[in-house]
Amino acid sequence: MDKKLVTLNINGKSVQANVHKKDTLLFVLREELGLKGAKYGCGTGDCGACKVIIDGEAKNACVTPAIRCEGKIITTIEGIGNTENPHPIQEAFVETHAVQCGFCTPGMVVSAKALLDRNSKPTREEIREALKNNICRCTGYEKIVDAIELAASKEVFDAEQM
């Protein structure tokens, strides 16, 4: 009754979902589409565990109504890389020991990706600023900032090799 069929552009693919008007994008990703990489940490837009990129910006999927995402380009952690083919940011997170319990990590990687897409050479201060809506309780953020800095340097390095 309150549901509507919507078409979403997720990770370069067009997918359909039957969405209740109150469903959040996080709910639809996790429960309807089986994309479980984005996590529930607070449901109020305050922790960043559920980050996805919408039209180039890192957004909290837990406070984004799915119904309003039609026509937008959505990238989730699954669209950034996977264990077979990880993204340099993900490699850097592992390399610098930026991962502990890992629950915040997908959201951190998503925020990092959105940042590096618009600023490929951020300063440490700019990295910290870009993470200010992402909570991590394990790492104290130090190694996460290291990871993003390393990823930024690697991406340039890769480009130079080509």
What is the token pair recorded at 149? 């800095």
Closer residue to ligand FES, CB minimum distance, 11 or 133: 133
Q: Looking at residue 45, what DSSP letter applies?
A: S
What span, in angstroms and rounded, lies between the C-alpha atoms of 91 and 154?
10
Query: By CB under 8 A, which span of 3-11, 35-43, 53-61, 65-73 interacts with another protein?
Result: 35-43
Among ligand FES, another protein, none, partner that 75 touches (CB below 5 to 8 angstroms by kind): none
Residues 6+ apart with CB under 8 A from 60: 45, 48, 50, 51, 133
- Give 7's strand partners: 16
Interaction with another protein in 102-141: which residues (CB under 8 A)?
102-106, 109, 124-125, 127-129, 131-141
What is the token pair recorded at 3? 């549901």
Which one of 71, 94, 118, 120 is in contact with another protein (CB under 8 A)? 94
Which one of 16, 82, 119, 120 is in contact with another protein (CB under 8 A)? 82
Closer residue to ligand FES, CB minimum distance, 129 or 159: 129
Closer residue to ligand FES, CB minimum distance, 87 or 143: 143
Do 17 and 67 touch, CB atoms closer than 8 A?
A: no
Distance, first Cα to last Cα, the chain? 54
What span, in angstroms and rounded, lies between the C-alpha atoms of 80 and 87?
6
Enumerate binding residues for another protein (CB under 8 A).
20, 30, 36-44, 46-47, 49, 76-78, 80-83, 86, 90-91, 93-97, 99-106, 109, 124-125, 127-129, 131-146, 149-150, 152-153
